[in-house]
Amino acid sequence: MIEMEPRSRRWLRLETLAVALSAFLLEAWGMVQAEADLQADLQHIMLLHLGVSGLLLLWLVLTFLRHKTGPEPTLLALATLALGPLGSGGYFLVMFGSYLPHYKKPQGFMHWYETLFREETKTSGQELFELLEMGRVRTEDSEVIVSFTDFLAFGTPEQKQAILTLLAKNFRPTFAPALLEAINDDEATIRVMAATATAHVEKGFLEKSLAMKKQSEEKPDDFNAQMNLALLLDDYGYTGLLDPVRERENRISAMALYQRCASLAPNDARPWFAMGRLSLRGGDNTHAITCFRKAMSLGKSQIDVAVWLSEALFKERRFGELRQLAGELFRDGDALSALNENVRHAVYLWIGEEA
* pLDDT tens per residue, range 133-163: 444 444 444 444 456 677 777 777 777 787 7
Per-residue pLDDT tens over the stretch 194-235: 888 888 888 888 888 899 999 999 999 999 999 999 998 888
CB atoms within 10 A of CB 105: 9
Q: Residue 264 pLDDT more than 60?
A: yes
Contact 163, 133 (CB under 8 A): no
Question: Within 13 Å of residue 89, how many CA atoms lie on the same side as its CB?
Answer: 10
Q: Residue 262 pLDDT more than 70?
A: yes
Query: Which of 195-199, 266-270, 334-338 ranks highest by mean pLDDT?
Result: 266-270
Farthest-apart Cα atoms in the chain, separation = 118
Contact 355, 348 (CB under 8 A): yes
Average the pLDDT over each of 94-103, 121-130, 310-319 and give the range with the smallest value: 121-130
Tell me the pLDDT of the chain averaged across its residues. 75
Q: Residue 115 pLDDT more than 60?
A: no
Percentage of the chain exceeding pLDDT 70: 70
The stretch 257-267 carries a mean pLDDT of 93
The stretch 65-88 carries a mean pLDDT of 76
Between 247 and 353, name the one with better pLDDT. 247
pLDDT bracket for residue 35 (50, 70, 90): low
The stretch 308-319 carries a mean pLDDT of 88
pLDDT score recorded for residue 134 = 45
CB atoms within 10 A of CB 150: 14
Q: Residue 72 pLDDT more than 80?
A: no
Average the pLDDT over each of 8-12, 161-165, 263-267, 278-282 and give the range with the smallest value: 8-12
Per-residue pLDDT tens over the stretch 11-34: 777 888 888 888 888 887 777 766
Contact 348, 324 (CB under 8 A): no
Q: Residue 1 pLDDT more than 70?
A: no
Q: Is 215 exposed, middle or buried, given 0-12, 13-18 or 19+ CB atoms closer than 10 A? A: middle
Q: Residue 331 pLDDT more than 50?
A: yes
pLDDT score recorded for residue 276 = 92
CB atoms within 10 A of CB 241: 20
Q: Residue 334 pLDDT more than 50?
A: yes
Q: Residue 178 pLDDT more than 70?
A: yes
pLDDT score recorded for residue 55 = 85
pLDDT bracket for residue 258 (50, 70, 90): very high
